[in-house]
Amino acid sequence: MTETATQAGPAGQEGSPGARVELAGIVKVYGETRAVDDVSLTVEPGQFLTLLGASGSGKTTLLRIIAGFVDADEGRIVVNGRDISQVPVHQRGIGMVFQNYALFPHLSVAANVGFPLEMRGVRRRDRAALVERALEAVHLGGYGRRSPKELSGGQQQRVALARAIVARPPLLLMDEPLGALDRRLREAMQIEIRRLSRELGLTVINVTHDQEEALTMSDRIALLAGGRLVQHGTPEELYGLPESEVAARFLGESNLFRGRVRREGADSVLALPYGRVLVPGDTPGEREAVVVVRPSAIRIRPAGAEPSASVSRMPGVVSADIYAGDSRKVLVAGADGAELVVRCESGAPLPCSVGDEVVLEWDPGSCHIIPGAA
Ligand code: ADP
Ligand code: MG
């Protein structure tokens, strides 16, 4: 690489590793609100982490603390072994993308993308090549002379992304970057951003409230609720092995059963007034538990059907049948009044219609016990 690229950013080469980011005990209090409440986690070089949570869960505050726009009340931010808590925003070497592109409307696309380079004192004639490369990376090669106003929303967001990566920051922060785009464009951009972050070896911390986006894009998800870190793990872990009811409810649809687990012969069973839920594994003694069953694991059978062996069974009455293109969502009122959700393939005929009595069945292996839950 040339001197220019070295000057342009700490990571000059393609695929150079991103930063390692450690958050240790971050706290931010606004009046009565603990916006961020003792969050600690580590993002490894090149990882794509999503901060996921409902509105008000503290995602933006945490991201702005990492960027340096907001000072934490407690805790440390360590990037590549160096505590940057006291380093000003513009010296942190971090790229940022916001939901509202924040492009300068009076500047050309190229001038927008070149802005961070200008701030770093990269000479004008050296900027052009770096700008064009960044534009090509987001598939906007040749768009430099246009005005942002002449671009669609998706293209503007790609310009914002090019601007965020032009100086090759080892860390890219994004706050709901796709929130303003329509669904198709959002999905296309999810794939694009993921490809780009892998190619460049960037460490990315992305904020979203959209669980699908988090599951699709991330190497790791940090689920936040009320400022606290609820669970941190791979998408598969958060979806398949939720450690709390909050996590089970937030990621995907779920059916939760609460009760006492006890032995019945060779089986462990969650005893409920209606139906029975088989629980995988040995149960040494009776204990309280919450069992999670995902809607796609459940089969619907007519009420009178011969019971299958070794399955969980729950009677109910079909209350709704909602067609959703590639799947159908069937709601079933359980005998205790709770509503259960079932996802079926939309192509297969349903053995029931709304108002019918049915039995729901699922294999014990497809349920998950929330550890320590009572
Ligand atoms: P999210 O991005 O997950 O929607 P935020 O980080 O924006 O959440 O907000 C977390 C909590 O902190 C909310 O209750 C919000 O009202 C509060 N909050 C955020 N910023 C401020 C501020 N500058 N002043 C007062 N309260 C704030
Ligand atoms: Mg926010």
| pLDDT per residue as tens digits for the range 124-158 | 889 999 999 999 988 899 999 999 999 998 899 99
Per-residue pLDDT of the chain (374 residues; tens, 9 = 90+): 333 333 333 434 444 579 999 999 999 999 999 999 999 999 999 999 999 999 999 999 999 999 999 999 999 999 999 999 999 988 888 999 987 778 999 999 999 999 999 988 999 889 999 999 999 988 899 999 999 999 998 899 999 999 999 998 999 999 998 888 888 888 888 998 999 899 989 999 999 999 999 999 999 999 999 999 999 999 999 999 999 999 999 998 999 998 888 888 888 888 787 877 888 776 667 788 899 999 999 999 999 888 777 789 899 999 999 998 989 999 999 988 889 999 999 888 888 899 999 999 999 888 898 876 55
Distance of CA 146 to the CA centre of its chain: 33
- Structural domains in the chain, CATH included, are 21-248 (3.40.50.300), 253-369 (2.40.50.140)
User: So what's the pLDDT on residue 373?
Assistant: 59
Centroid of ligand 1 to alpha carbon of 47 (angstroms): 26
Do residues 69 and 96 make contact, with C-beta atoms less than 8 angstroms apart?
no
- Identify the burial level of 167 via C-beta atoms within 10 angstroms of its C-beta, where 0-12 means exposed, 13-18 middle and 19 or more buried: buried
Distance of CA 232 to the CA centre of its chain: 11
d(CA 232, CA 291): 20
Q: Which of 27, 29, 33 to mutate to test the pocket of ligand 1 (most atoms within 8 A of CB)?
A: 33
> Which atom number of ligand 1 is nearest to the Cα of residue 64?
6
Q: Is 57 in the pocket of ligand 1 (CB under 6 A)?
A: yes
Do residues 184 and 217 make contact, with C-beta atoms less than 8 angstroms apart?
no
User: So what's the pLDDT on residue 10?
Assistant: 40
Residue-wise pLDDT for 298-353, tens only, equals 999 999 888 777 789 899 999 999 998 989 999 999 988 889 999 999 888 888 89
Q: Is 158 in the pocket of ligand 1 (CB under 6 A)?
A: no
Return the residue whose CA atom lies nearest to atom 11 of ligand 1.
Answer: 35
Return the residue whose CA atom lies nearest to atom 14 of ligand 1.
Answer: 56
Q: Which of 37, 61, 206 to mutate to test the pocket of ligand 1 (most atoms within 8 A of CB)?
A: 61
Q: Is 208 in the pocket of ligand 1 (CB under 6 A)?
A: no
Return the residue whose CA atom lies nearest to atom 27 of ligand 1.
Answer: 30
Tell me which ligand sits closest to the C-alpha of residue 61.
Answer: 1
**What pTM does this model have?**
0.88
